[in-house]
Structure 1
Amino acid sequence: MRFVTGAALAALSFAAPALSQNSTPVFSPDRVRAHVEFLADDLLEGRNAGTRGYDLAAKYVASQYQSLGLKPAGADGGWYQQVPLQKSSLADTNGSVTIGGKSFRNGVDVLFSPSAREAAQSLEAPVVFVGFGLVAPEHGLDDYKGLNVKGKYVAFLSGFPKGLPSDIAAHLASEKAKFAQAHGAIGTISVMTPTSLKAFSWERRAAYADADSYTWVAPDGKAHVEAPGIQAGAALHGPAMEALFAGAPRSLKSVLAEAEKNGARPKGFALKPTVKIERRSVKSIVNSPNVLAVLPGSDPALKDEYVVLMGHLDHDGVDETLAGADKIYNGAMDNAAGISTMLEVAHAMVNSGTKPKRSILFAAVTAEEDGLLGADYLARYPLPKGGKVVGVVNLDMPVLTYDFTDVIAFGAEHSTLGPIVERAAGLDRVTLSPDPIPEQGVFTRSDHYMFVRQGVPSVFLVTGYAGAGKKANDDFEANHYHQVSDDLKVPFDWKAGAKFARINYLIAREIADTPEAPRWYADSFFGKIFAKDQPKAPALAKKK
């Protein structure tokens, strides 16, 4: 174990006392390895939510909680918060999108998913093109201005305008259906841009044409839908897009060319053809648990405030259609590594000799791979009841194949969690680096974001790109991410796993012990829209 110098500790004297490495417990590479080896074993069959393999993983995590003496934080005094998941499937291959009288089949030049609420649909309406379909006046976006879309489909360009901050742009793009609903539209049509297709080709998208879709079911028995007023939607490619823009005031080619320019804001207009979407859907329900435990806080004034340390327990299961002998998506790095980190931090918290002042909620959540569903359910129906979540640290797919020298905390620039991460990492002589892939909008793509949407300051921590990091991360993403090769044959550096757990322990300890709960910065976009009435920290001075 390495220790920082006295001068460095003095510089950090304003931090919580728990940040002294002299009181940090021992972190075991062997324990990290043992957790990953069990969770990524073939026996667990890829841990797909709602399957026997996932339930075995959940039982393992609960047994680890129990062995540490943590308190159950699930429903009815148990370890589990059952999340009712609805699976929706297309009933047959007869669904279609008809544009101006020409029919297109799913998976060729159109894509659509099953409905979460309707068994059979045939929805025909006029169409209005609405640019990127975004509303954010503070960023010069009001794509519905002057357009009447009530009772119509809206057609919008996929993605977002170039030049917007990536995390903000990713959030706005995820809200397109809500923007459409707010203006009275009944359906959405996504028009593929060259930028979107470069990031994710149509061929790759079309491979999911028959994929099931999932959502969680609320206590009232209704399937959760973000924009229930939007009754149907589809994405178009090639000939289908040309058919939609037939006779339009502007050609499809000119609109797509404008969309590729930095800062472009294509104006909307009515389209001539009508669109009809026809589909039949079938539904089934399965339960899959979030696995929850709490280490109660020691401070009577703070113990009802919770710091959440979380990771997703599920992965992609088994695919019998794959060629070759290996058909199991073991998810060793994604996300057995994150759960292992969380369990090692829990072990350290229990054995540190000093209880945290705030309570720590450890959460292994389900159905991340199906749309962040377990996290969304937990954020909306938090347990234990009566407590308040004040900060979230999410652990999702840290690449543990090298001795990292920096970490990335996606979202660090939005709240006072950023300096906490920086101080904790610095105690291990690890630096905090800025987002190296801002174009991917990572901050909005993992479980913590469901808590952000409920107004909770959150960060998503991974190993960084310094030194050997970029090569290691690029190699994993290219050769193992969401592939059956993400298994125990990946060359893990178990010492790096213990080091990553130590840093996350230090982060959680400071959040738990510092007098003031984490706050959004006054200029944070996410703080402004999701936590309008919460007290804010002063905006950070901009670096020149």
Structure 2
Amino acid sequence: MIRYLTPALALLMVACAAEDDPATTATDAATPDSATARSDAATMSDVGPDGIALPAIEEAGLREHLSVLASDEFEGRAPATKGGKKTREYLIAEMKRIGLEPANGDSYEQPVGLVEQTMIPQQSSLSLTKPDGSTWPLTYRQDAVYWSKQVKQDISIEDSELVFVGFGVVAPEYGWNDYEGLDVEGKTVVMLVNDPGFYLEDELFNGRSMTYYGRWTYKYEEAARQGAAAALVIHETDPAAYGWGVVEGSWSGPQLDLERPDEGASRIPLEGWITKDVAEAIFEDAGLDYAEAKQAALSPDFTPMPLTGFSATATMKNAINRSESANVAGKLVGTKHPDDYVLYMAHWDHLGKTFAAVGGDTKDTIHNGAVDNATGTAGLLGIAESFANAAVPPERSILFLAVTAEESGLLGSAYFGETPLVPFKNIVGGINMDAVAPSGPAKDLIVVGYGASELEDILKTVAEADGKYLRPDASPEKGYFYRSDHISLAKKGVPMLYLDVGIDKIEGGEEAGRAWDEEYTANRYHKPADEYDESWDMRGLVETFSIMRDVGKTLAYSEDWPTWYDGNEFRALRDEQMADR
């Protein structure tokens, strides 16, 4: 799970894991005896509001998966490592045991080529030529952080003129085009983070709830489509949702990306961030006021502003390393509509092992990722088992997708998004499971990106039947909806749902729920301490996974085609898909 350590983060960063027997291995867990025991345990059935009964999702089965996936034997499940390979083998064995068919022809794996590119700072530089002709070297990590997604050892730009393009957004549905009438071929575009709605609130876009246009990923993609040579996002803590320390830590050092046929040629040569202080100095020397320019950028009639007299020159020296991982996918084939698919997804990877102890721990170097994301992976298998054992098989097919390299930038899901195993127009909708909290049962469910699609209408019905109410995530302006794997499908038009266990706990209320989240965020998130504890209350996990299953069940036994709500940035894509059916 990709998260940034901000105060608002506590509400959303949660998860779980479990370990009944430290000696349990992938092979042990997949033995016939284990399967028989679990089948005997699944004697209860869950009957949803639609009247369809499915075998219950059992706590014991979830704990068994968690104890294996979060064990030291799996070494933190990093892609392209021994632990990553063991994880893939375990998932394949379990999918076979459950009775899922391979989803990629006769294979359960979808190979994902990865390329790691590390810019060598000592042999790289970014400098600006000022209006007076002087050179201003930007100090790496202090003034700017930059990189390239073009897979080349040597990359350079020279005397690239700077132009301010507001938010760098082209959004026809909002009547917005920051590039209108502008040719940026070979130029360096400078832009604001987030989208105009963050400042205008209810006036335009989605108010303070970030749209995809506010994500830095979109801004670099759009700059490339416009033909720019470089794109620099101006960092400000509040609209970015994280401080400069996160920028310099996340975008310096090795950067992992997909192995692409064009070797990244479609990307711009240089992507990067600059500090607000640097931006203000640039604007001042160009004869502009930064605050006034920012205000002007809040209008759909904004006109791009040349930063007169400024140009950028950069040289980057990269070290390149290639490796391979894989998504793991199994399916249940529908009895009536086998070409229609309901999607469940979770990322199986975590951070692996570090070369030295972390956080004062002199012994532990394994980031077990029990919460992030052994929980979601266990839930994926638990839901699959419930559907596979249904007395009445699903009428539509169900695809269970465990993706790799989420922690490296949502790469496994991005690869699936570019090379889908199922046509997008055939995917009815999907649910993503990422770091689901073992914090006990709650009265509510958190919907990240609340107000996105008609899947929420189904969720509301299912949740209310279980005595729960829906709660939007606390800080929609932070854009958490765009920071997990489902966004790779949403960007292709597929309606996606992203849930978490609620914080209004049955025992202890919101105070207890927030305390659990805050403790996890402070002490265990992305640290070796993210390990299973037998004292964790699994009831909330079982309830939440059961609700996720029942949302999918509503789709799997019907002919409904939910879509994005009117005004959503992905609605037009879905409408095109449905017109093509």
Q: Does TM, normalized by the shorter one, top 0.5? A: yes
Provide the aligned length of Structure 1 versus Structure 2.
513
| Aligned position for 1:333 | 371
Rounded Cα–Cα distance in structure 2 between residues aligned with 1:159 and 1:50:
33
**Secondary structure, counterpart of 1:304 in structure 2:** strand
Mapped pair 1:118 → 2:146: no
Deviates more, 1:374-383 or 1:319-328: 319-328
Mapped pair 1:66 → 2:100: no
Rounded Cα–Cα distance in structure 1 between residues aligned with 2:459 and 2:475:
19
Deviates more, 1:124-133 or 1:467-476: 467-476
| Aligned position for 2:326 | 289
Q: Which amino acid aligns with 1:223?
A: E
Q: Which amino acid aligns with 1:53?
A: G
| Aligned position for 2:221 | 178
Deviates more, 1:343-352 or 1:408-417: 408-417
Rounded Cα–Cα distance in structure 2 between residues aligned with 1:401 and 1:141:
43
Label 1:156 to 1:262 Cα distance change in 2 as closer, same or farther (>3 A).
Answer: closer
Rounded Cα–Cα distance in structure 1 between residues aligned with 2:276 and 2:122:
21
**Aligned-residue offset at 1:460:** 1.1
| Aligned position for 1:435 | 473
Label 1:291 to 1:224 Cα distance change in 2 as closer, same or farther (>3 A).
Answer: farther
Mapped pair 1:306 → 2:336: no
| Aligned position for 1:96 | 125
**Secondary structure, counterpart of 2:384 in structure 1:** helix
| Aligned position for 1:149 | 184
**Aligned-residue offset at 1:192:** 1.9
**Aligned-residue offset at 1:106:** 1.9
Label 1:312 to 1:353 Cα distance change in 2 as closer, same or farther (>3 A).
Answer: same
Q: Which amino acid aligns with 2:408?
A: D
| Aligned position for 1:541 | none
Mapped pair 1:214 → 2:256: yes
Deviations for 1:85-121, whole angstroms, at most 9, x for unmatched residues? 1111114522111112121232221111244322212
The answer (yes or no) to whether the contact 1:304–1:386 under 8 Å persists in 2 is: no
**Aligned-residue offset at 1:266:** 7.1
**Secondary structure, counterpart of 1:117 in structure 2:** coil
Identity %: 28
| Aligned position for 1:452 | 490
Rounded Cα–Cα distance in structure 2 between residues aligned with 1:246 and 1:434:
41
Rounded Cα–Cα distance in structure 1 between residues aligned with 2:114 and 2:531:
27
**Aligned-residue offset at 1:313:** 0.3
The answer (yes or no) to whether the contact 2:334–2:393 under 8 Å persists in 1 is: yes
The answer (yes or no) to whether the contact 1:149–1:183 under 8 Å persists in 2 is: yes
- Kindly report which structure 2 residues correspond to 1:5-404, keeping only aligned pairs within 5 A, or say none: 12=49, 16-18=50-52, 23-75=53-105, 77-100=106-129, 101-124=135-158, 125-136=160-171, 138-139=173-174, 141-161=176-196, 162=199, 163=201, 164-165=205-206, 166=208, 168-173=210-215, 174-196=217-239, 199-208=241-250, 210-218=252-260, 221-223=261-263, 228=266, 230-237=268-275, 240-252=278-290, 255=293, 258=295, 268-271=304-307, 272-299=309-336, 302-321=337-356, 322=358, 323-324=360-361, 325-383=363-421, 388-404=426-442
Deviates more, 1:324-333 or 1:486-495: 486-495
Deviations for 1:50-73, whole angstroms, at most 9, x for unmatched residues? 111111111111111111122122
The answer (yes or no) to whether the contact 1:249–1:269 under 8 Å persists in 2 is: no
Rounded Cα–Cα distance in structure 2 between residues aligned with 1:347 and 1:191:
47
Deviates more, 1:51-60 or 1:199-208: 199-208
**Aligned-residue offset at 1:196:** 4.3
Deviates more, 1:179-188 or 1:288-297: 179-188
- Structure 1 counterpart of 2:520, from 451, 476, 498: 476
**Aligned-residue offset at 1:170:** 3.7
The answer (yes or no) to whether the contact 1:119–1:282 under 8 Å persists in 2 is: yes
Deviations for 1:482-518, whole angstroms, at most 9, x for unmatched residues? 2322211485212222222221221121110112232
Rounded Cα–Cα distance in structure 2 between residues aligned with 1:385 and 1:458:
15
Q: Which amino acid aligns with 1:41?
A: S
**Aligned-residue offset at 1:262:** 8.5
Deviates more, 1:489-498 or 1:268-277: 489-498
**Secondary structure, counterpart of 2:459 in structure 1:** helix
Q: Which amino acid aligns with 1:493?
A: D
**Secondary structure, counterpart of 1:287 in structure 2:** strand
**Aligned-residue offset at 1:412:** 5.6
The answer (yes or no) to whether the contact 1:113–1:211 under 8 Å persists in 2 is: no
The answer (yes or no) to whether the contact 2:116–2:255 under 8 Å persists in 1 is: yes
Label 1:532 to 1:490 Cα distance change in 2 as closer, same or farther (>3 A).
Answer: farther
**Secondary structure, counterpart of 2:228 in structure 1:** coil
Deviates more, 1:342-351 or 1:130-139: 130-139
Label 1:194 to 1:367 Cα distance change in 2 as closer, same or farther (>3 A).
Answer: closer
**Secondary structure, counterpart of 2:190 in structure 1:** strand
Deviations for 1:147-193, whole angstroms, at most 9, x for unmatched residues? 44332111112233322425553444332123323433221112222
**Secondary structure, counterpart of 2:147 in structure 1:** coil
Label 1:273 to 1:385 Cα distance change in 2 as closer, same or farther (>3 A).
Answer: closer
Rounded Cα–Cα distance in structure 2 between residues aligned with 1:480 and 1:288:
26
Q: Which structure 2 segments of 5+ residues have no match? A: 1-43, 130-134
Label 1:3 to 1:358 Cα distance change in 2 as closer, same or farther (>3 A).
Answer: closer
Label 1:473 to 1:518 Cα distance change in 2 as closer, same or farther (>3 A).
Answer: same
Rounded Cα–Cα distance in structure 2 between residues aligned with 1:167 and 1:60:
39
Label 1:147 to 1:454 Cα distance change in 2 as closer, same or farther (>3 A).
Answer: closer
- TM-score, scaled relative to structure 2: 0.81
Rounded Cα–Cα distance in structure 2 between residues aligned with 1:212 and 1:440:
25
Label 1:512 to 1:122 Cα distance change in 2 as closer, same or farther (>3 A).
Answer: same
Q: Which amino acid aligns with 1:111?
A: V
Rounded Cα–Cα distance in structure 2 between residues aligned with 1:211 and 1:490:
36
The answer (yes or no) to whether the contact 1:308–1:362 under 8 Å persists in 2 is: yes
Rounded Cα–Cα distance in structure 1 between residues aligned with 2:302 and 2:528:
42
- Structure 1 counterpart of 2:444, from 402, 406, 420: 406
**Aligned-residue offset at 1:263:** 7.8
**Secondary structure, counterpart of 2:325 in structure 1:** strand
**Secondary structure, counterpart of 1:303 in structure 2:** strand
Rounded Cα–Cα distance in structure 2 between residues aligned with 1:43 and 1:494:
23
**Aligned-residue offset at 1:342:** 1.1
**Aligned-residue offset at 1:224:** 5.1
- TM-score, scaled relative to structure 1: 0.86
**Aligned-residue offset at 1:25:** 1.5
**Aligned-residue offset at 1:239:** 5.8
Label 1:387 to 1:296 Cα distance change in 2 as closer, same or farther (>3 A).
Answer: farther
| Aligned position for 1:492 | 536
Deviations for 1:394-451, whole angstroms, at most 9, x for unmatched residues? 1111112121222123356333211221222223222222333212212222111111
**Aligned-residue offset at 1:534:** 2.5
The answer (yes or no) to whether the contact 1:126–1:153 under 8 Å persists in 2 is: yes
Rounded Cα–Cα distance in structure 1 between residues aligned with 2:442 and 2:343:
24
Rounded Cα–Cα distance in structure 1 between residues aligned with 2:457 and 2:250:
41
Rounded Cα–Cα distance in structure 1 between residues aligned with 2:368 and 2:127:
40
Deviates more, 1:380-389 or 1:230-239: 380-389
The answer (yes or no) to whether the contact 1:39–1:336 under 8 Å persists in 2 is: yes
The answer (yes or no) to whether the contact 1:409–1:461 under 8 Å persists in 2 is: yes
